[in-house]
Structure formats: C-alpha cells, structure tokens
Structure 1
Amino acid sequence: MRRQVLIADDHPLIRYGLRCLLRDCDDIGIGGEASDGHETLRMVRGPQQWDLLVMDLSMPGRNGLELIKLVKAAQPRLPVLVFSEFLENLYAVRAIRAGASGYLSKKAGADDVLLAMRRIAAGSVFFSERVTELLATHPGRDAQELPHTRLTDREYGIFSRIVNGARLTDIADELSLSVKTVSTHKSNILEKMTLGGQVELVRYAIEHKLLDAAG
C-alpha cells in the first residue's frame, strides 16, 4: 500500500520538486499539499489519514515549532519531517523536542530526502550526522546552559529573525503578532541573555554560529 504524504510548504517550486521526486515511487507518494500553517492544520485535522507530514518551518499563518506542537496535539501518531531552509544548528534540536521525527536542510540531496521520508513514514526516525552530533552535545536541563538555550521556542524564533536582519514589523506580520508584543519579546530575550541591545545579539549569534547561512 502506497504511503500518503502531506507536503506543507509555501513555495510552489519546492512542492513541485518533491512531487517529481516521488512521482515514480511505488511505496510512497504525495496525497495532498498545503501552502500555509492554517491549511496544514485543517488538512491534518480532516478525515484523510496521512502517513507523513513534510513541512517547512517558515510559512504564512501558524508556523515553526508551534505548528509542530499543534500537529502532534491533533494527530499524535502522525510523523513529521521538517524540511527547512534553516540549517540544522538553528532549529533541529528544538524541532525534534517539539515532536518532529527528523530534520533536513533544503540543501540535502534527493537521496537523503527520499530516505528520510521512507524511514519516518515507516515509523522510524531520521537524523543526519550533523543533527545526531547536535543532539549528543546539546546541553541538558541540568547542564551549564548557553544563554540562547534559556529562550522559549517563541522567543528563539524571534531572536533568530532579529539577528538575521528582520525588522520588528516584518516579524510581527509573519507571526501574526502586534509590534508591541514582538518588542516585549525582544526585551525579554535581551534580559534572559543578559545582553545590552541588538548589536550584542548579532555578535552573540555570530560567535555561536546561529546566523542563518542557508540562503
């Protein structure tokens, strides 16, 4: 029986590429597509049973780590593969802790993408060598934590966007928040990380290799 994959990505070219990748596969195929977080949730909560959700982290509407948690709350047995433009060191550990069964950068080769889909749809997990290394070295709750690991998932998402040059208004639009709320989050981030301002945030991100170099 051919396993059914739901693809959630706001870029038509990515969805087209994944359709082409699976077009001739007898064991796994794309059964549906979503272009934003709200549509993804609607399809996950709908009557059709999916064997795998392949999702981007950055989409209009509900997105990122919050979307993974909402998907798992609605369908705990639905495995999730994050297929993201963000490099592994930025979000992989947090995505897996949110409920994802695997994480791949969009720079991954076609063979790795297909292998990850098949493994996760079959009920296993898929971690690249880099993700395995990150999981092994990521500080536990009782370890001496780096300042950015103290941030909540929402705060980390805003931190990541700020250090990669996004304006507060753009972040507010993307996350469907008010500018005031984003500004409050920024203040909380600076306080938790004991940093003096945006320049220090960027410097910290550079020192700890947390800038998005995927583009």
Structure 2
Amino acid sequence: MLRLLVADDHAIVRQGLKMILSEEFSPLVFGEARNGQELLAQLGKGQWDIVVLDITMPGRSGLDVLKEVKQQYPKLPILVLSMHPEDQFAVRVLKAGASGYLTKENVPEEVVKAIRKVIGGGRYVSASLAEKLAFDLRSDAERPLHEALSDREYQVMCMIASGKTVKEIAEQLVLSIKTISTYRVRILEKLNMRTNAELTHYAVKNRLVD
C-alpha cells in the first residue's frame, strides 16, 4: 500500500494525480493539502510514504515548507512537481532536500516513474539537470549574483521579471504590498541594480524566466 500526500493549491492538479496514480498504485491512500499549513497538519496526523509538493502556493514559500518538512521528517521523500522550468528552481529544491524535481509539463508516465524511483530510495532528475548539477560541482567559476538571494527573494525576483506588479505578487503570495516592496528593494541591492528593467534583463539572460 502506498500512502501519498499531494500539496498543491489547484484542485484539478490534485484530482488529476489521484486518477493517474490510482491506476498505477493499488491500494493507494491519497491525501491532499492546498498549502503549506495544511501539508504540515496532514503530516502530523499520520504516516506517509511520499509527499508530492508544488513550490508555488499561497502563503509560505514552498521552499520554506520543504525545508521545514525535511527538518521534522528527514527520511520522508519529497518529489517536487512544479510549473517552473528546471532552470528556475530545480537546483534550489534539490539542495533543500527534495528527492526529485519534475515540471507539470511531464507526461503521466514520467510522474509514475519518478514516484517509483523516489519511494525506492533513489533520486529523480532529468538528464539535463543531472548534467547541470555535475557541472556546478566541478566548476570553480564565480557563482551568479542571484544565488545570494534567499528563496523568497528569488521567487519574488522571478515574478517581477515575469512582468507581475508588486500588487499582483502580494495577492498571489498572500503577503502585504509593503512586504513585497521590501523584498524588491533587497533584491535590487543584492544584484546591484536600480530598476525592474535591469532585473528583467538579468533574469532573461540567465534563463530564470521564460
């Protein structure tokens, strides 16, 4: 029996996964959470074999939630299933303790393959991501500026570079406009920039946004 907990704020994603995985894993105990708070509550109520986690949910950053879960349940495998391309978040996610990273563009068969590998104690990454991780390990080159950003700052930077306003970001992350404005100031300072246009140019150049 597989006990799988999915944390994603979109009901259609949760239901889609339930349909796909019910056919592949039988019997399946399927749990759902809409945000980080619900995920932590569900984890406290029972035992789970694996968590499938989105990193862009209302409220707390998925990366923050990931780190907290790994602190409380260090042996619990977590597979991140995200809308963000690998170039944007995969390395941060794996460094935070995830057992694998998949984009939501992957076909169902790939999701099943990843879950099987992760619950078997392995790690799941694409060939291109494995190559990038290997390159990062052996490279002595200076790290890019954005690696100095916190996970939340990095998330806000990507959203700004994608054309979202401070108000839109605040609404999506369920934070105040003042808080997002403070993040923006910190990001610009750390990247030694002055405007959103400079930030966007940097993000595009470094393939941090589509």
Indicate whether the TM-score tops 0.5. Answer: yes
Q: Structure 1 residues 147, 28: CA separation in 2 closer, same or farther (over 3 Å shift)?
A: farther
Q: CA deviation at 1:193?
A: 1.0
Give yes or no for contact 2:57–2:173 (8 Å, CA) kept in 1. Answer: no
Q: 1:203 aligns with which of 201, 204, 210?
A: 201
Could you list the runs of 5+ residues in structure 1 that have no partner in the other structure?
A: none
Give yes or no for contact 1:6–1:33 (8 Å, CA) kept in 2. Answer: yes
Q: 1:40-71, CA deviations, whole angstroms, 9 ceiling, x for partnerless residues?
A: 1111122x110000011111222321110111
Structure-to-structure mapping, 1:81-120, within 5 angstroms: 81-120=79-118
Secondary structure of residue in 1 paired with 2:23: coil
Give yes or no for contact 1:54–1:82 (8 Å, CA) kept in 2. Answer: yes
Query: Percentage identity across aligned positions?
Result: 40
Secondary structure of residue in 1 paired with 2:102: strand
Q: In structure 2, how many angstroms separate the alpha carbons of the residues matched to 1:191 and 1:28?
A: 52
Q: 1:158-199, CA deviations, whole angstroms, 9 ceiling, x for partnerless residues?
A: 111111122212322333433222212211111111122100
Aligned to 1:36: 35
Give yes or no for contact 1:81–1:103 (8 Å, CA) kept in 2. Answer: yes
Q: CA deviation at 1:27?
A: 5.5
Q: Which runs of 4+ in 1 moved over 6 A?
A: 139-142
Q: 1:118-137, CA deviations, whole angstroms, 9 ceiling, x for partnerless residues?
A: 11112211111122122123
Aligned to 1:45: 44
Secondary structure of residue in 2 paired with 1:126: coil
Aligned to 1:22: 21
Aligned to 1:153: 151
Q: Which moved more, 1:142-151 or 1:6-15?
A: 142-151
Number of aligned positions between the proteins: 210
Aligned to 2:52: 54
Q: In structure 2, how many angstroms separate the alpha carbons of the residues matched to 1:42 and 1:130?
A: 35
Q: 1 or 2, which has the higher helix percentage?
A: 2
Q: CA deviation at 1:148?
A: 1.1
1:190 aligns with 2:172: no
TM-score (norm. length: structure 2): 0.92
TM-score (norm. length: structure 1): 0.90
1:10 aligns with 2:15: no
Give yes or no for contact 2:2–2:25 (8 Å, CA) kept in 1. Answer: no
Q: CA deviation at 1:139?
A: 6.8
Q: In structure 2, how many angstroms separate the alpha carbons of the residues matched to 1:103 and 1:193?
A: 27
